[in-house]
Amino acid sequence: MTSLSAAEAASATAPAMPAPAAASSYLDEGFNLWSWLTTKDHKRIAILYAVSITAFFFLGGAAATLIRLELATPQGDIVSAETYNKIFTAHGVIMVWFFLIPSIPATLGNFLLPLMIGARDLAFPRLNLLSWYLYVAGALFTVGMLIAGGVDTGWTFYTPFSTMFSSTYVVYALAGVFVVGFSSILTGLNFIVTTHRLRTAGLTWFRLPLFVWAIYATSLILVLATPVLAMTLVLLALERLFGIGIFDPALGGDPLLFQHLFWFYSHPAVYIMVLPAMGVASEVITCFARKPVFGYRMMAYAIVAIASIGFLVWGHHMFVSGQSMYAGMTFSLLSYLVAIPSAIKVFNWTATLYKGSITFDAPMLYLLGFVGLFMVGGMTGLFLASLAADVHLTDTYFVVAHFHYIMVGGSVMAYLGGIHYWWPKVTGRLYPESWARFAAILIFAGFNMTFFPQYLLGVAGMPRRYHQYAPEFQLLNVLSSAGAAILALGYLLPLVYLSWSLMRGKRAPPNPWNAAGLEWQTASPPPPHNFDSPPAPPRKPYDYDPTRPEALPGSAAAAQT
Amino acid sequence: MNILLPPTSAASAFAGKVDALLWTMTAVTGFVAVSIITLMVLFSVRYRRAATVDRRIGPATIGVGNHWLEITWICVPLAIFVAFYVWGARLYFDYENPPLAPLEIDIVAKQWMWKLEQPNGRREINELHVPRGRPVKLVLSSQDVIHSFYVPAFRVKRDVVPGRFAILWFTPTVTGRYHLFCAEYCGTNHSEMGGDIVVMEPQAYSRWLEHGAVQPTLAQRGAALYRQLGCSGCHTPGSAIHAPDLDNLYGRTVPLSNGSFVKVDEQYVRDSIVQPSRDVAAGYRDEMPSFAGRVSEEDLLELVAYIKSMAPAQAPEGAGSP
C-alpha cells in the first residue's frame, strides 16, 4: 500500500463520499459513565488518560508544595524527617510513572496518532483500553499505599536501603509500578504496529509529521526498556520478601547491580518523557511560523539517534558510585554524543523561525518556552556528563534543577502547549486566548524562579533529599519556594479556563489554525470513525508558505501544478 | 552573584581545577544559550506576522534546510563536547588515583554518623582534622546502606557502598572549617548525617594529634585481632598448613591461580578475608574459610591496617604529589 505514489493515492480518494450533513462526533457516542469505561475508541481512551493523569499531576503537585513549604526554612519544622522522606518519594513516584511517562504519549499520542496517519483507530483498540485499566489499577494501588503507609526510599529505590533497611510499604508501592509498566509496554506495542500498518495510502515515512516519528521512537523505548524495570522490581521484591541475596552485600549481592539495572530503564525513561515533547514542538512551531520545519530529515534522524544512543548512557548516574574508572569514561563520552542530536533539534527549531510569518498564540508561547527551558536543561546536562564536574555536582540540587528543566520546563510546557493547540480538535471548542497567553507567561516565569536558584544551590553544595539544611542556603531556597507558589497558580489557571471552555467556549471550526496534518482534515470534534472520507496525504510534510500565511498549507503547490 | 551564592570557597587543589572547568563550561554554554535566545527573539520580532519583510525562500537562501549549516552545527558542538570530555576525564583520572604515601584516615559510615580514625588511633565522630598541604586518603566502609562522603569545599564526593572499601583523596590547601555532608539518601535522618572538616596548619595538626593519642592504633588492634581470629596459625612461615606469608606483601603484585595478577591493596585484602575463594594466590589451595559475618567493618579496617603495617612504606613519608 505504501508504495502508491501521492498522485495515485489522491486519484484513488478523489471520488470520495460527500460528508454526511450532521455527522455526530465521538463525544456524542454515549453520555453515561459506562459508555466511557467500555469504549474502544482511541479518542475516548485518550480522554480517560487525560482525566486520570491530570488528577495524578495535581496530587504530585500537592506533594511538591509541601516540599517547598518545608524547605522555606533551614530547620525541619513543618513535617518530621520521616514524613518529608515519604513526601518526596510520593512526589517522584507519582510524577514519573503516573504523570510524565503516560503524559504526552497516552493522551495526545493516543488521540492523534491514528488521526495523523489517516487511520480509523489504533491497531489494537481493545488492548488500548486494557492499557488504561492496567494504568489506573496500578497507579491507584500505589498511590493508596503511598497515602496509607508511605514509602521512604525515594523514587529510585536504591538497595540495600530499600530491601533490608526501610520499614515502609516498599513492595506494595513497587507492585503498582510493576503493573503500570505493562500498560506502558502495551501502549508502545500498539503504537508501533499502528505506525507500521495503518498509515493511509501514500503516507510514506518521510511524509509523516515529526510528532509521529517522536511517538514511534518513544514506543520503541517503552517496549525495550520497561521490561528491564519490571525484572528489576521483581528481583528487589524477591530480596526483600525472601532474603534472596541479589543486591544486598550482607547476603552476597551487589548494590551496584541494582543501580545498573535501574538506570538502564530510568535513563531511557527520560527520553520517553522528552521525545514526544519534541514532537509537539515541531508541530506547533511550524504552524505558528507558517514555515516548513528546518531540516525535516535531520529532525527525524535526530529523534531516532536520541532514542538509540539514549540506551547507552545509563552509567553517567554512577560516576562516584565506585564503578570502574574506564566505565565512567565511556559513559561520559556517550553522554556527550547523545547531546548532539538534541542540539540539532534546538538549532533547527530556531532556524524554522527565520523568514517565518510568526504569530504568538498560546500554543506558540508554550512551545517557545519549551525550547528555551529544554536548552538550559540540556546545557546543564553537559556539566553533569563531565566526569570531574559531576563528582562535585551529582546528588546536589544541581541535578534536581537539571532534570526539572528537562521534564517540567521541557515536557510539561510542551504538553500544555499541545493541549491548547489540539484543544479545538479534541473538544470542538475554542479556549480563551488571553487567559491562555497569560498562563503560559506565568508558568514560564514561575518555573524559572523555582528552579534556577536550585542550580546555584547545587553549585554551592547543597545535597538533594535534605529535610534540613545549612542556614547559608536559605535565601535561594526561599526564592525557589516563592517561585513555586507562582508556578502552582500558573498550573491551576489552565485547569479553570479550559474547564470553562468545555461548557462556554466558542465552537471550533475543523481547522482553526490553518494547520497542516491530516488531523485537521476532519471535523472538530472528529466523528467516531475519524474520517468521513480518506484524507489526502500531503505532498510533503509541513507545507506552509510564509508569504501566504492565511492560506491552507499545500494550496500554493496545488495552484502551481 | 555574590549576594545570591552562599560562600563556596575552594579549599583543595582539586577544587581549583574543577572550578576552572566549571567556569569555562559556564562561559561557553552561556554564550551559546544567549546567542540562541537572541536569535529567537530577533526572528520573532523581525518575522512577526505584522512586519512587512521579504519572506521568500528560494533555493539559494537558507530556508527550509541547508546541509552545510547543519553539518556546521553538528561539528562545532562535537568539537566543544570532546574538549569538555577530555578535560573532565583528565581530572577524573586524578580523582580516581590517589598519590603515593598520603596521610591515611579510616572511616566507617553508619546510619546516621561518620566514625573516623586518625593514623595514630585518635578517633573522631562527625569531625575530621587534617593538615594543610598534604594529600589525605580516606578508606571508607559502610556498616549498613549506601552513604556518600561529600565535602563541597574540596569538590569531591564518593559513595560508600557496603561490602567494599571506597577510596577518596584530596589535598587541602586553605585552613578553615568546612561542611561534610552525606550526599546519598540513607534513610530518616539523612540530612543530619554531616559534620565538619577542619583543615589545620601541619604543626597545629601534629600537636592536636599527639593530644589525643591514648588508644592503640588501628594496626595494633589489628595485630591483636590477627592472633585472636587465628590468622597467625596458618599465615606463618613453617606452619603445618600451606598459606601465603603476609610479611612484606602489601603493595606488591602477586600472581593468582587463574593466571592473572592482582595488586595487594585494601580491597584485595578485604576480599581475601570475606571471600577467600574469589582470588586464590598461585601455588596455594583454596582452603581458607571465609570470615564473612565473623568480622565487622571496623575489624576489617583494623586487619587491613595491620597487614599494611607488615610491609615497609613504599615511599618516604610526605613525598606525595602536591
Q: Do B157 and A473 touch (CB under 8 A)?
A: no
Note whether B12 contacts A: Cβ–Cβ < 8 A. Answer: no
Confidence of residue A554 (pLDDT cuts 50, 70, 90): confident
- For the stretch A525-545, pLDDT in tens is 999 999 998 898 888 899 898
Torsion of CA A230, A231, A235, A238, to 10 degrees: 70
- For the stretch B14-32, pLDDT in tens is 999 999 999 999 999 999 9
Q: How far apart are CA A510 and CA A519, in angstroms?
A: 9
DSSP assignment of A401-439 = HHHHIIIIIIIIHHHHHHHHHHHHHHHSB---HHHHHHH
Beta strands B147-151; B176-182: pairing state: antiparallel
Note whether A558 contacts B: Cβ–Cβ < 8 A. Answer: no
> What ranges do the domains of chain A cover?
40-551
**B175, B206, B212, B220, B301 from B119: Cα distances, Å:** 20, 11, 12, 11, 12
Average of per-residue pLDDT across B115-143: 93
Query: Of B7, B70, B188, which has the smallest distance from its Cβ to A295's Cβ?
Result: B70
Judged against a pLDDT cut of 70, whether residue A21 lies above it is answered with: no
Q: At what angle do helices A125-148 and A42-70 cross, to 10 degrees?
A: 20
Q: What is the DSSP letter of B216?
A: P
Q: How far apart are CA B171 and CA B86, in angstroms?
A: 23
Q: Do B65 and A166 touch (CB under 8 A)?
A: no
What is the third-level CATH fold of A40-551?
Answer: Cytochrome C Oxidase; Chain A (1.20.210)
pTM above threshold 0.95: no
- For the stretch B271-309, pLDDT in tens is 888 888 888 888 888 888 888 888 888 888 888 888 888
Using a CB-CB cut-off of 8 Å, the residues of chain B touching A344 are 70, 73-74
Beta-bridge partner residues of B150: B157, B181
More confident: B214 or B308: B308
Q: How much is the pLDDT for B58?
A: 64
Q: At what angle do helices A413-427 and A362-385 cross, to 10 degrees?
A: 150
Q: How much is the pLDDT for B279?
A: 86
Using a CB-CB cut-off of 8 Å, the residues of chain B touching A356 are 43, 47, 55
Size of interface A-B (CB pairs under 8 A): 266
Beta strands B136-142; B147-151: pairing state: unpaired
Q: Does domain B218-309 have CATH number 3.40.50.2300?
A: no
Q: What is the ipTM of this complex?
A: 0.89
Using a CB-CB cut-off of 8 Å, the residues of chain B touching A394 are 157, 183
Cell reading at A350: 530556531
Please name the residue of chain B whose CA is at the shortest distance from the CA of residue A290: B49
Please name the residue of chain A whose CA is at the shortest distance from the CA of residue B52: A357
Q: Which CATH architecture has domain B1-44+98-215?
A: Sandwich (2.60)
Q: How far apart are CA A122 and CA B177, in angstroms?
A: 63
> What ranges do the domains of chain B cover?
1-44+98-215, 218-309
Q: Do A344 and B155 touch (CB under 8 A)?
A: no
Judged against a pLDDT cut of 90, whether residue A486 lies above it is answered with: yes
Which residue, A153, A325, A121, A136, is CA-closest to A237? A153
Confidence of residue B5 (pLDDT cuts 50, 70, 90): low
Judged against a pLDDT cut of 90, whether residue A10 lies above it is answered with: no
Average of per-residue pLDDT across A214-238: 96
Q: What is the 3-state secondary structure (H, E, C) of A313-339?
A: CHHHHCCCCCCCHHHHHHHHHHHHHHH
Which residue, A258, A256, A254, is CA-closest to A231? A258
Which element (helix H / strand E) includes A126? helix A125-148
- For the stretch A369-413, pLDDT in tens is 999 999 999 999 999 999 999 999 999 999 999 999 999 999 999
Percent of chain A with pLDDT over 90: 87
Question: Which of A88, A155, A161 is best to mutate for the B interface (most B CBs within 10 A)?
Answer: A161
Q: Do B57 and A388 touch (CB under 8 A)?
A: no
Q: At what angle do helices A42-70 and A413-427 cross, to 10 degrees?
A: 150
Beta strands B103-110; B136-142: pairing state: parallel
Q: How far apart are CA A295 and CA A149, in angstroms?
A: 52
Using a CB-CB cut-off of 8 Å, the residues of chain B touching A320 are 148, 157-159
Using a CB-CB cut-off of 8 Å, the residues of chain B touching A387 are 88-89, 91-92, 95
Whether cis (ω within 30° of 0) applies to the bond prior to B112 is yes
Which residue, A340, A390, A345, is CA-closest to A367? A345
Q: How much is the pLDDT for A556?
A: 54
Which element (helix H / strand E) includes B125? strand B123-125
Q: Do B77 and A340 touch (CB under 8 A)?
A: yes
Q: Which amino acid does the sequence have at B147?
A: H
DSSP assignment of B224-240 = HHHHHTTHHHHSSTT-S
